[in-house]
Structure 1
């Protein structure tokens, strides 16, 4: 086993050296298993000079109905074509530090909802014009405005337009607003108990079930991170799965959910919440959960701190690492999607 691991690390290091030297012959890496088998796309999302196009990343990924990929970075939101070229960007103070995103098609167009952790708000903006149409903060009506820090980590939207915003880096309350931003309620408390959140870090609407419910990442739950189900009325439903490391976000396609793990891997679950595949596992404990991995030390097919992911219509995955240089990767489904 030691000899195998040594050989693996040597091979990975050689692959990294290829990238350092600017060589173009880095081969795709196959990962996963069964119907969840993927190939990496070397160099996807990099500028023509081979450097990252987006800068420091601590954010999410969404895909619009045309197949364009949006990823958030410290400086704002970058929009990529499916072949990895930047075609649009929304930069500056109004779009900085979006930690999590959701995209939703509405009557007046496609809109992105964002949780801005360091900028202490939720926002909604038009995906194609960038126009910001809604700002969300701690509601006066909640009675919490003057007593808690606001550092939101996740946002999602129900079918009727109700918005859920998690204060995961602070009080761990989840605030519920209607589609106009009117406060409706809040729920959740900080702790390590069954019905508490020890960093409610990621969240989405789980449409695998009827009625849909919230799927929430309890990232720092001890002894291991877990996923939880809550009703749209804020009622605890179930502990979905435990032992996930540090789950950061969740993205649904059909019966499947992708779960980035900050320790350096991405887990795919089926509708029974059984693990179907583990992608990009990092065997080096010094590189998993490490923001400061420079681009010249990236290794094809190996993640360092997976933070956001999203599926496209063909079942391909786009994965963002929490990374000082800004890393986003495309994984092409090797077995055709049945969705």
Structure 2
């Protein structure tokens, strides 16, 4: 390593140890490696006074065709421009507790599908107007006698079928048609190969043909694995293990970003090999929900929960956090 390289590495290390106090006092931090190298954008999503626009977060991120960024907080859904300015909010009881989101173009409109864990339902609403057009409560016609229904993940098949994971309760994954009619369910709670121990995240894995479900089995032992199921609910494969506590997954091209609740994002290629680790937090005292904003560290996550790619390959990452943290990572070309 040259002296210049040592100085650069030392500087990045020092900067990454600085608390996030105000955007003008913090420099970007570089993370990742190879084709998955990113620079942070200090202060992205903060108000002019430097405080978070979100409040407590336990949700997801999606991006519409115009590049606007939707993130779900405890209070509802907040919409940002690509440079981090708030342009819209969907607030009130019907938009709270959206734990996971998926966005989908249908005709001339874009719709957001949401899994509302504490509100015990899935929903679908117009991304640009907020109009709720579909609700998915627990399907009584399934014949199951569940004491609790707490959906944590939602995704949509190419034909419009909707998959809703009851990840905080039964660990069944429910399948509905595009009108909301119950079709089937699969999966049970446990630690066997074909069981889920917190089926926390789920997306449509378009890296393969035909597309299949990619499920984040967060607390399975050994902890942290990704599974493939086909769209009929049949087990295909265990594709990655030892990922800590994977909370969600977002696919772009041949790559998938997987937030780990323990404070990092891993990126896997089409062979499901980890090719980059972003923002790893080695400090247990600065992990978890109760990390206040004055203890945030630029380039280091506290409890990653949701992520999404934009058209340029940049990543937006949301932490599970008491103050409401979302970080933009700009891909280094």
TM-score relative to the length of structure 2: 0.95
Q: 2:14 aligns with which of 11, 14, 17?
A: 11
Cα distance change on mapping 1:233 and 1:281 into 2, 3 Å:
same
Q: Is the 8 A contact 2:112 2:124 kept in 1?
A: yes
C-alpha distance after superposition, 1:53-88 (max 9, x if no partner): 010000000000110000000000000000000000
SS at match of 1:59: strand
Partner of 1:110: 110
Partner of 1:264: 263
Matches within 5 A, 1:12-51: 15-16=18-19, 19-20=20-21, 22=22, 24-51=24-51
Distance 2:264 2:249 in 1: 13
SS at match of 1:94: helix
Distance 1:108 1:172 in 2: 34
C-alpha distance after superposition, 1:103-130 (max 9, x if no partner): 0000140000000001110000000000
Residue 72, structure 1, aligned to residue 72, structure 2: yes
CA drift of 1:25 comes to 2.7
SS at match of 1:282: coil
Matches within 5 A, 1:127-276: 127-144=127-144, 146-276=145-275
SS at match of 2:311: coil
CA drift of 1:10 comes to 8.8
Partner of 1:4: none
Partner of 2:323: 325
CA drift of 1:224 comes to 1.8
Distance 1:221 1:104 in 2: 30
Aligned length: 324
Distance 1:216 1:134 in 2: 23
Residue 282, structure 1, aligned to residue 284, structure 2: no
CA drift of 1:148 comes to 3.3
Cα distance change on mapping 1:178 and 1:42 into 2, 3 Å:
same
CA drift of 1:23 comes to 6.3
CA drift of 1:321 comes to 0.2
Partner of 2:101: 101
CA drift of 1:12 comes to 5.8
Q: Is the 8 A contact 2:286 2:295 kept in 1?
A: no
CA drift of 1:287 comes to 2.1
Partner of 1:124: 124
C-alpha distance after superposition, 1:176-218 (max 9, x if no partner): 0000000000000000010000000000000000110000000
Distance 1:315 1:28 in 2: 18
Q: 2:311 aligns with which of 310, 313, 319?
A: 313
CA drift of 1:11 comes to 3.2
Cα distance change on mapping 1:23 and 1:132 into 2, 3 Å:
closer
CA drift of 1:147 comes to 2.7
Distance 2:312 2:12 in 1: 32
SS at match of 2:93: coil
TM-score relative to the length of structure 1: 0.93
Residue 299, structure 1, aligned to residue 297, structure 2: yes
Cα distance change on mapping 1:255 and 1:14 into 2, 3 Å:
closer
SS at match of 1:296: helix
CA drift of 1:223 comes to 2.0
Q: Is the 8 A contact 2:146 2:170 kept in 1?
A: no
